A and B are shown apart, each in its own frame.
Chain A
C-alpha cells in the first residue's frame, strides 16, 4: 500500500517537473538509457552534473566580481559551457536563465548579467533539491524500473 502510494507520488513528482518546465525530454532520454547494467543511471548523471557544474558556477561568480570591468567574452564562454552541461540532464529552466545571461553578456549589460545569474543559481539550486527528493523517493520505491515506467 505504502509502496503504491510512494510510486504514485513518484509519478506525480516527475510529472510536476515537466509541468513546471523544470525538465525537458532529455530527462526522459536519460531514463531510457537506464537499464540493468546501470540501474541508477539517471541519478549518476545528475550527480555528475551537479558536481562538475559547481566549478563553472564559481568561475562565473569569480568573473562577475570584477563588477564594472566584466570580461564579457570570458563570461559568455563559461556560460556556454554551463548551458551545454545543463542541457545534458534536461534542466530546462536553468538553461533558459543561462541563455538570458548570455544575451545580457552579448549586450554588455552588467546589471542584466548579475540579475540573470542570480536567477540561474536559484533555479539550479531549487532543481537540485527537487531531484534529490525525487531520487530518494525512487530508491524507496525500490526498483529503477518503477522510475522508468512511470511516465
Chain B
C-alpha cells in the first residue's frame, strides 16, 4: 500500500534516524548500551561503532533510564545486561517498554532457558549470550525496523478503516507520520457499531485532538499507580504523578479512572453473585467448586428452561441486534483482541482466512487481526468465566514477578465484566495447542444436550448460560447467537458455524479449562492476556 511505504520511508528519512547518512540505514542507528562491566561496555562500544552505529554507554541502569527520559527520541534501541547492581535488567526492560516503547535487547553470560524466557516475557526483542560476536550486533537494526513497520501497519489499518467509513481521509498529517512512541498518541478507534455509526463519525470527524490509547503498558502503569496510592485515596492528579507519563494529562487519567471504578464495582457485584451460587474453582481457591461442574450444571438448567425463548432471529443470519453502548476496538499494535460487548456478525462478512488468522495470532502479532477486521466483522469475545474467576484471584495469590501481569489480568477481566450489556468470552486461544485439547470437553456436555446438536454447539451454549460465574448481564447477544446455532442448523449457517465454533470452542476451552489448569496455564497465556485491553475503557465520551 502506498501509505505503508510512505510512512516507513518518511519515518526512516525524517525523524527516526537523524543521521547524516540517511540512505545508509542502518548506519547511524542510535544505540544505548547498558552494562555494569566496564570491559564489556568498552568492547560493545567498539563493536557497535564498527557497525557505524551511534553509541552511548551507561554503566548504571538508573543512569540509562535518566538518559532515556531526558530525550525520548534520542535513541532507537537499547542493549542491556541482565545482571546489574542497581537495577535488575528485566526491570529496566519493563520501564523502557512502558515509557519509551523502544526495542530492548538483553545480554547475559547466562543462557539458561528460563532466563531467556523471562527476557522474552518481559518484552525483550532479543537475548544475546556473552561473549557477543560482532555479527550479532550488526543485525540489531532489524528490531528497530520491525517495530517501525509494525506501527506503520497498524496505522495503515486504522487509516483504512477510516477510509471505509468516512470515504475520505481526514487523518492529520501530523498524525500520519508518527515517530516511535508517539504512535500511541494517535487517534485509533475502530467503531464496529453500525447503529451508532453516524453519531460516532460525527464525533470523529469533528474531533481533532489526539486521543489517548490506553495500551496494555499504559493501563498497567495506571493500575500500579492506583494500587500504590490505595484505592480509597486515589485521585487523577496523584495517579498521573505516579505514572510518570509525561504526555498524559490529568483529564486522560480522570476519565480512565472513572471507567476503572465502574468496572471494579461491577466486578464486585459479580463476585457477590458468584459466591452465592457456588462459584468456579480457579487457581488455589479452595472454596470454589470445580468450574467445569458448575458450567455443566448451568447448561443443564438452561436446557431445561427451554432454549428457545430468547430466540430472535429466524432468518438464518446471524445479524445480531446490538443494543448496548458503543465500544471501540483498539488498533494499537499491542492489543490483540480487545473486548467488545457485542458480537456483530453477518454470514457474508465472516471470512475463513480471517478466523484462521486470528487463531494463529500470538500476542505479538496483533496487527494481523486488526487488518483482517477491516471489514468490520468482529469476533471478539473476552472471557466471561475467567473474568469472574479472576475476580476472585486476590492479589496475594500473585507471585511477585507475575504481579504486574496478573494484576492487569484482573483489571482487564473486571473491566470486561463491567460492560453494560456485555457478554464476553474469550474468542481465541493464543496457542493453537489449546484448541486441540478442546476435544475432551464436548464429550462431557454432550450428555446434557437435549437436542442432538453437535457437541460443539452445545458446548458453546454454555457461554450464554445464566450460570453463576458468568456476567449475568452478558447473556443477551451471545445467547441469541447461540440459540441461533442450536435451532437453526441449516446449511446457510454451516460454513459460518464451523468457523464460529472454532472460535467459540477455543474461547470456551479457554474459559472452561482455565479453572482446571494450574497456574502455569494462565501464566503461559499471560502475555496474550496482558495484551488485551478492555475496549470499554476507550469509549468515546471519555477522551479528552
Give A contacts to B, CB under 8 Å.
26, 29-30, 32-33, 35, 38, 41, 44-45, 48-49, 52, 77, 80-81, 83-85, 87-90
Contact = CB atoms under 8 A, between A and B. Distances in A.
Interface stretch (B41-49, B171-179, B482-490): B41-49
Contacts of A83: 109
B134 A45 contact: no
B110 interface: yes
Nearest to B108: A84
A121 B40 CA distance: 21
Closest A-B pairs by Cβ, 4 of them: A84-B109, A88-B39, A26-B131, A49-B39
A87 B47 CA distance: 16
A34 to B, nearest CB: 9
B37 A52 contact: yes
B216 to A, nearest CB: 32
Interface string B120-145: 00000000001101100000000000
A52 B110 contact: no
16 contacts: A29-B133, A29-B134, A38-B46, A45-B43, A48-B39, A52-B37, A52-B39, A77-B83, A80-B109, A81-B36, A83-B109, A84-B130, A85-B39, A87-B131, A88-B40, A90-B131
B134 A33 contact: yes
Contacts of A44: 42
B66 to A, nearest CB: 23
Contacts of A49: 39
Contacts, number: 54
Contact of B37 (A26, A41, A84): A84
Contacts of A85: 37, 39-40
B495 interface: no
A84 B36 CA distance: 11
Contacts of A41: 46
B134 A81 contact: no
Nearest to A80: B83
Contacts of B46: 33, 38, 41
A38 B110 CA distance: 29
A48 B42 contact: yes
Given A84-B130, A85-B37, A30 B43 contact: yes
A88 B110 CA distance: 13
Contacts of A38: 46
Contacts of B394: none
Interface string B451-492: 000000000000000000000000000000000000000000
Given A33-B50, A85-B37, A87-B130, 18 more contacts: A26-B131, A29-B131, A30-B43, A38-B46, A44-B42, A45-B39, A45-B42, A48-B42, A52-B37, A80-B109, A80-B110, A84-B40, A84-B83, A84-B108, A84-B109, A84-B130, A85-B40, A90-B131
B202 interface: no
B37 A81 contact: yes
Nearest to A32: B134
A128 B170 CA distance: 68
Interface in B30-64: 36-40, 42-43, 46-47, 50
A90 B132 CA distance: 11
B313 to A, nearest CB: 64
Nearest to B135: A29
B134 A88 contact: no
A38 B46 CA distance: 9
A78 to B, nearest CB: 11
Contacts of B134: 29, 32-33
A84 B47 CA distance: 17
Contacts of B130: 84, 87-88
A38 to B, nearest CB: 7
A6 B133 CA distance: 30
Contacts of A80: 83, 109-110
B477 to A, nearest CB: 55
A77 to B, nearest CB: 8
A129 B486 CA distance: 83
A52 B133 CA distance: 22
**Residue from A30, A38, A48 with most neighbouring chain B CB atoms (10 Å):** A48
Contacts of A89: 39
Contacts of A48: 38-39, 42
Contacts of A90: 131
A44 B41 CA distance: 13
B43 A88 contact: yes
Contacts of A29: 131, 133-134
Contacts of B83: 77, 80-81, 84
Interface string B16-42: 000000000000000000001111101
**Residue from B38, B43, B108 with most neighbouring chain A CB atoms (10 Å):** B43
A84 to B, nearest CB: 4
A19 B411 CA distance: 60
A92 B43 CA distance: 17
A80 B112 CA distance: 13
A133 B503 CA distance: 70
Nearest to A87: B131
Given A48-B38, A48-B42, A88 B131 contact: yes
Contacts of A77: 83
B109 A33 contact: no
A87 B109 contact: yes
A29 B36 CA distance: 21
Contacts of B36: 81
A11 to B, nearest CB: 23
